[in-house]
Structure 1
Amino acid sequence: MKNLTTPTLKSIAKLSAPLWLTLGILSTNSYAANLVVDTSKSSVQIIFKQMNVPVPAQFKKFNANIDYNSAKPESSKASVEIDASSLNLPAPEYNAEVLKKEWFNAAQFPKASFVSTAMKVSSAGKLDVSGNLTIKGKTIAISFPLLIKTAGKSISFEGSLPIKRLAFNIGEGEWKDTSMIADEVVIKFNVVTNQQSPQL
């Protein structure tokens, strides 16, 4: 039986791809200001448990289009794509293993994606986001809270989303054993943007 430690990290990582979450190019309708993602400060991460021990992994390649209207947040929209093959595990020698059919099957499904369907204000600086998350060819409706922070010309979008890896067939065959690798995976993202000069 294969070593479960590292492959499991990636399987859960692919689930994450929701979410969310996250990015490459952003634009805003309010105040006609353009936002551009700062990839050096942005991140998309997944955390899964192996033998009840939390294991973090990070996606190195992701992009997104976000149409954010600060004056009318409910009209905002977002779409995100994550490169499944860019997942970086704590043990890099297993990065190729998780791309196989039992896990992400990256050859057939190279991208994970999220497309928003609705957003609503929950409190100051917070939105409840709903949308469709697609991983390994399977699409599931999800929802999660989004925190928006503004500092000068910088706007960040932060969130975390728990998902079930088995719902997306991440970890097939012997890897379905949740006593080794937990079913729940948390996708965490922080997308930092910089505001450009207003469009006239």
Structure 2
Amino acid sequence: MNKSVIARGAVALAFAIPAFAFVQPAGATPVDAAKSSVSATFKQMGVPVDGAFRKFTGDVSYDPAKPAEAKARIDIDISGFDIGDPEYNKEVLKKEWFNAAQYPKASFVTTAVKPAGAGKFDATGTLTIKGKTQTLTVPVTVAPAAGANVFSGALPIKRLAYDIGEGDWKDTGMVADEVVIKFKLAVPAGK
């Protein structure tokens, strides 16, 4: 199997997970996964590679009148990472990359939300991938759309901070350390 393709899948998966995991707050509304998306973009040998997380769940508690009280949790099922090829998808689940057998989920749980202007806020929380947890802040935009609040954003992370790509894969000449996780989460409004 081509190592470059394997690297692409692993990097994308590692970084798509962190942007969308939030804490399950009391009175929270489930994310509508059918109308939502989580993806990761990384560079392999300087070329951008995209991957999508096809399995995730989440709960969000959000009142537009009180954005600082928002809380959320998103959990990503690592086995749902898709970089477009079943063989590569299996490869990124191995120990050197996501070690999905031992760490089947990645999560992001909010700990604080700070308003950042009309329809914008910064969500601080913990991102856990492959047993490693880091505190980070995600810039988020929220907009109403067809009976839902849609939360979107992009978050750059470092794959090596989560041990994504062990052994020879730590070399950032083949697969860049930076991964950008993009998300769009639709949450039914008024529930």
TM-score, normalising length: structure 1: 0.87
CA contact (8 A) 1:4 1:180 kept: no
Partners of 1:168 and 1:97 in 2: CA distance: 17
Shifted more, 6-15 versus 87-96: the winner is 6-15
| Pairing of 1:83-162 with structure 2 (within 5 A) | 83-162=77-156
Aligned counterpart in structure 1 of residue 37 of structure 2, from 21, 25, 43: 43
Letter in 2 for 1:19: A
User: How much does 1:159 deviate?
Assistant: 0.8
Instruction: State, as a whole percentage, how many aligned pairs show the same letter.
Output: 48
Where structure 1 has 5 or more consecutive residues not aligned to the other structure, the ranges are 29-34
Partners of 1:138 and 1:22 in 2: CA distance: 16
Partners of 2:145 and 2:71 in 1: CA distance: 22
The alpha-carbon distance between structure 1 residues 65 and 157, as it changes in their structure 2 partners (threshold 3 A), is: same
Where structure 2 has 5 or more consecutive residues not aligned to the other structure, the ranges are none
CA contact (8 A) 1:6 1:91 kept: no
The alpha-carbon distance between structure 1 residues 91 and 101, as it changes in their structure 2 partners (threshold 3 A), is: same
| Pairing of 1:14-53 with structure 2 (within 5 A) | 14-21=14-21, 35-53=29-47
Aligned counterpart in structure 1 of residue 160 of structure 2, from 152, 156, 166: 166
Partners of 1:176 and 1:142 in 2: CA distance: 22
Partners of 2:140 and 2:152 in 1: CA distance: 6
> Residue 32 of structure 1 aligns with which residue?
none
The alpha-carbon distance between structure 1 residues 23 and 149, as it changes in their structure 2 partners (threshold 3 A), is: farther
| Pairing of 1:3-82 with structure 2 (within 5 A) | 3-12=2-11, 13-21=13-21, 35-82=29-76
User: How much does 1:26 deviate?
Assistant: 10
TM-score, normalising length: structure 2: 0.91
Query: What whole-Å deviation, never above 9, does each CA across 1:99-149 have from its counterpart, x for those lacking one?
Result: 111000000000000010100110100001100000000000111110001
The alpha-carbon distance between structure 1 residues 27 and 5, as it changes in their structure 2 partners (threshold 3 A), is: farther
The alpha-carbon distance between structure 1 residues 82 and 25, as it changes in their structure 2 partners (threshold 3 A), is: farther
The alpha-carbon distance between structure 1 residues 90 and 25, as it changes in their structure 2 partners (threshold 3 A), is: farther
The alpha-carbon distance between structure 1 residues 86 and 23, as it changes in their structure 2 partners (threshold 3 A), is: farther
CA contact (8 A) 1:27 1:36 kept: no
Partners of 1:188 and 1:44 in 2: CA distance: 6
Q: Calculate the aligned-residue CA RMSD, in Å.
A: 2.2
User: How much does 1:25 deviate?
Assistant: 10
User: How much does 1:23 deviate?
Assistant: 11
User: How much does 1:7 deviate?
Assistant: 1.6
Runs of 4+ in 1 over 6 A off after TM superposition: 22-26
CA contact (8 A) 1:65 1:78 kept: yes
CA contact (8 A) 1:153 1:195 kept: yes
- Give secondary structure in 2 for the equivalent of 1:155: strand
